[in-house]
Structure 1
Amino acid sequence: MSGLIDSEAGSELFASYEAELKLVQADLNQKLDQIPELAGEPRKAAISHAERSLEEAKEILDQMRIEKQNIPAPAKTKVNTRFRNYQTDIDGLGARLKRASSDRQALFGDRYTDDPTGDAHVEQRQQLLSGTDRLERSSGRLRDSQRVALQTEEIGANTLADLNRQRDTIMHTRDTLGESEGYTDRSIKTLRSMARRMATNRVITIAIITVLVLLIIAVIASKFR
């Protein structure tokens, strides 16, 4: 019973991650389509947003990879196929983002230099924001997992309570059947006793009638002597 509950919960959580991934994937596609039209700071900001979306998509994929282990065997093949397709799509989006990020002239515009230490404070700020966003998303998914776990625990508790009530009903029915069998045995014994008394009474009645008939015959015979 617990295995069935876990499978259902796993399927439900996988589906929610799948829907969330589709939204993030659509948002990432839109951002990547906008990047070629931008330059300088707007392009950097768009790439930073796209990187955060890509990280979020990868985190969702990791969660889906874990949850798909709880999918029932008959449906696991289709789920694995969909998961591989999502992974391929995300990898392709990552490659597009990498190409856009490698175009430093478009990225930095007139301020482009070969100095790798330029704008270090901006990159650190973007990394900090990206880490904060990832932490918030991970916290949200953790809350979702906890909610599903609590729902699963509640379902399990209700199931156990139902089983206990059914067990009590079965025990009560068995006791009632035992009492009924006792009543039946006593009734059979009573009927047998009544049958024996009736047979005895019948024999006594026949004997009395026989004696009376013999007496009558004797009286009649004595009158004719």
Structure 2
Amino acid sequence: MSQALDSEPGSELFASYESDFRLTFAEITQKIDQIPGLAAEPRKAAIRAAERAIDEVDEIIGQMAIELQNISSGSRAKLNSRLRGYRADLDRVKRDLKLSADRQELFGARAAQSRGGPPSNDEVSQDQRQQLLTGTDRLEASSQRLRDSQRLANETESIGAGILTDLRGQREQLVNSRNVLMEADTHVDKSMRTLRGMARRMITNRLITIGIVVVLIIIIVAILLGRFVRR
């Protein structure tokens, strides 16, 4: 079985699926190892149990692949590599189980020939009961996966609603900031107009002051010239 890498930041649900995969995969390998040493009926039951476990693992891998899409790209590459390893492990145990089932079918046919007839009604009834149990187990496993998917969808919806709320708040902040900037720009324009008016008044006052000084100088010069002429 593929060795898991060190834990990467990512989804807790993905890690939970990995834990379920490892436990179920260990059960599968244990059942396959026990099959050769079992008698005919126990061997059939072990093969069916291994098939149910393989179906469950297959569904777990499917859920892991779905959850992988919700993980950040920084951690997705390593997790995707681990997922490929899990698929390879599953393919290997499928081949091992098929070999065991083929041997079971071969040995079962030989046993039936040695008994000189087809399977008994008890054997058929037991096989039907086992198939019913298998179908029930698969249905329960599928229901659990659906519940997990629904929970994931609800969590994703909640996260999406939170993101939308944050975006609306940020939009309102941006609009308020834009309004403040526009108001500040209006005040700046008024201040600039006031400063330009003050500058014009200062220039006018300076010119008036210079004119007054020039007139006073002319008057003083005229007075002085008048006194000099009288003398």
Shorter-chain TM range is 0.7 to 0.9
Asked if the contact 1:35/1:47 (under 8 Å) is kept, the reply is yes
Deviations 1:4-43 (A, max 9, x none): xxxx99x876665454333222101111222333325544
- Compared CA separation, residues 171 and 24, structure 1 to 2 (3 A): same
1:114 corresponds, among 113, 117, 140, to 117
TM-score calculated relative to the size of structure 1: 0.76
- Tell me the residue number matched to 2:154: 150
Which residue of the partner structure matches residue 191 of structure 2?
187
Deviations along 1:177-222, one digit per CA (max 9) or x if unpaired, are 2112111111111111111111111111122222222222333333
- State the AA in 1 paired with 2:22: K
Change (3 A) 1:16 1:97: farther
In structure 1, the residue matched to 2:5 is none
Which of 157, 161, 171 is the matching residue for 1:167? Answer: 171
Equivalent-residue separation in structure 1 for 2:58 and 2:208 (angstroms): 103
Partner of 1:193: helix, strand, or coil? Answer: helix
8 Å CA contact 2:14–2:68 kept in 1: the answer is no
Q: Which residue of 2 aligns with 1:94?
A: 97
Letter matched to residue 182 of structure 1: T
Further displaced range: 139-148 or 81-90: 81-90
Contact 1:39 1:107 in 2 (8 A): no
Mapped partners of 2:93, 2:44: distance in 1: 21
C-alpha separation between the residues in 1 aligned to 2:220 and 2:189?
47
> What is the TM-score normalised by the length of structure 2?
0.74
* 5+ long unaligned stretches in structure 2: 1-8
Of 37-46 and 116-125, more deviation after overlay is shown by 37-46
Q: What's the CA shift string for 1:160-182, capped at 9, x where partnerless? A: 22222222222222222211211
| Structure 1 unmatched ranges of 5 or more | 1-7
Once the two structures are superposed, what CA deviation does each residue of 1:54-93 show, in whole Å capped at 9, x if it has no partner? 33234445x2596389487x84984674365134213223
Give the total of aligned pairs.
213
Question: For residues 203 and 214 of structure 1, do their structure 2 counterparts lie closer, same or farther at Cα, with a shift above 3 Å needed?
Answer: same
Distance in 2 between the 1:15 and 1:48 partners? 28
Taking only the aligned residue pairs, the percentage that are identical comes to 43
Per-residue Cα deviation, 1:138-178 (whole angstroms, up to 9, x for no partner): 01111111111122222222222222222222222222221
Aligned to 1:223: 227
